[in-house]
Structure 1
Amino acid sequence: MPVQAGVDLDLVLADIETLVSCESPSDDLDAVARSADVVAALGERLLGVAPERIVIDGRSHLRWRFGEPTVLLLGHHDTVWPLGSLRRHPFRIDDGVLRGPGCFDMKTGVVMALHAVAALPDRTGVSILITGDEELGSPSSRALIEQEALGCAAALVLEASADGGAVKIARKGVSLYRIHVTGRAAHAGLEPERGVNAAVEAAHLLLAVAELGAAAAGTSVTPTLLRAGSTTNTVPADAEFAVDVRVRTVAEQDRVHAALRALPATLPGATVRVEGGPNRRPMEPEVSADLFRAAVAIAQEAGLTPFEGVAVGGASDGNFTAALGVPTLDGLGAVGGGAHADDEHVIVAMIPERIQLLQGLISGARA
């Protein structure tokens, strides 16, 4: 089943099976290293050259460069699925639907990128970067991604599509915080009045933090993990909670950041310390507009299935490239659904179309 010259769907599916069958939970460095071995071998067979293997803080990333980068293809081979998930969700294809842990997010996209570039008659200016810690927030690969994207005319992100095959033209930004409260311990029965209750102070703060959200602006400020105290009969001397912030605009991200950093204590004697800040800046629609128009034109000319461009709440490594001002289009990988869930799946018939779209975007960005 040819896609373009040199690309065969049966081989693509076999390579997806190989990659999905190598489990790669992000927090298991050995598993991610084994997965990197598999990706490297697939890429070397297809591209004729071994990747540069970059290990940072024990995490394995792979990069292929064909001359000075003009177009960056960006993906990741780590997943959220723990070791042993294949026993419950083995790789399979039934009635045109491919299943297996990590198939949608985003091992199919990794294989598509390798096959798309391998079939190009000229690879000059193409860089492929496959990281191993995206599901953790890219702590070790962020600088590598930003370095590779600088100066590029386009960053094409092989994350899975949105519903119905839509590509992602905007993503919310993410800020992550941990708020620490220090009080003073005292016996809860004998002299509670001598204490400063860090749990009560945290409760005041938690309510104030939740009020920083702005639904009309698309801003959510969500307190999450909460901990306080050490024993049931002691006034808590310390407490802490985490906060997850999602925003559509940089202005909103900055507003929430300033407000969180200025949080005052309510109880006399309590102190507050705020750690954290923006993890990913928002990917705003302007940075993807030209690439989206090009993608629509390519699809129309080639007779591909029409698709929309949508804004989504989740973040990706595309947020990093967009924040640099590099034109970025996301969601160019697999069409399907169920990311991180038991029904994770990919529509096989759409794989050839997305490879063809990717090839068109690469060629256009280098023109």
Structure 2
Amino acid sequence: MGANHDLLAEKAGRAVISKIVNRVDNWGQIFSDNINKAGDFSWPRPDYVCFDYDLEQSLAFEFKPPNHQKREYLTGLGQTLSYLEKHHYSGIILPKVVEGFNIAQHLANVLSLDVFSRHYISVIGYDERTLESNPLNSIQLYKSIEHERTGEIITGEINQTYWCWWRDISHYEVFTLLDLLDKHSHQTGDIYTTYAWPEFWRLMVAGNTRTWEGIGRVKTDNETNYRSEKQNYKIPLFQLGLIEPSEGRLTAEGYKLISLAKIYGLDSSLYIDYLTKLVLIEGKHLILIQDLEDYKTRASAASLANSTQFRKDFETYLDENNSIGSRKEGRTTTGNKESYIRDELKLWNKLGLLKGNGNRYFVSGRGIEFNWARITEILTKDFLY
């Protein structure tokens, strides 16, 4: 997916949530006002996902950009239907009119046929001239969801954050782990659990994997560390689309990334920049960055004065705008985490996306500042090889 596609999908999706939460006309449908944006990185991957915490049910959207032929939007309806295997409801967001034809109304008519007697799919049309500048007024509900769905149907996982989860895994370690998965690709079954991770763990315990700075990383060898780090390292690889989740086999993107590393080197701009582009687009960190930029325009002086407070207040901003998992009174997130936002700033700094001097990228009074010249370069860079 491209950056423009994702940004338009984001605007439309947030407008949908806003109209549901604020009970605008009949937009509420069967949903409560306790509905937030969520994440789903499994295949087929929706463009925008919501989770209703009162119903404990999810809603997945397919977003189709303008300027395509009519058959592209019919294909999008098929994608929308496929989301019902793992989500309770789905919807398609598409232009109202294509080539003078009201394609949104056409899909609404299709879904009114007897074969779709249970209305679990919505159709939302938008005016392509105003979606970017005025998303709330641009979108129109052509077909609502009218019946609540029951039964065990969800096979995917709902993430409380919409962006790729990342801890301290370095670009060196990304390559090492992907290379081990490639090495064991001839094996059957779960090659991540059975072959690649045990070998990677032995390297890490011995100090033979490297941090971002190229220093050997040493982990204490115990069962707790083994199990927790196994997931810490697997999740971002899966969410970036580098491996498939069940067995850990490399995808086409995974092979492209390690090929760039093998041809040009682990410290080459092509390898690091391609990893950065995956983080921004597939990992949806570009959306998170834009959320943070928007927050900075509203941040208080107290928030901008302290890095820890800045992160917590930004998370509160996301919570208030229905952009992260529902947070109960007295609870921070889960486990021992003080916030959802933890290592993202460090990752952005290591990838060169922040202005600053070394690891001092938070500036009192200004918060953090992004290197938009580099972000633009990454998004427009050609990675053919």
Normalised TM-score (structure 1):
0.24
Normalised TM-score (structure 2):
0.24
Structure with max Cα Rg:
1
Between Structure 1 and Structure 2, which shows a larger proportion of strand residues? 1
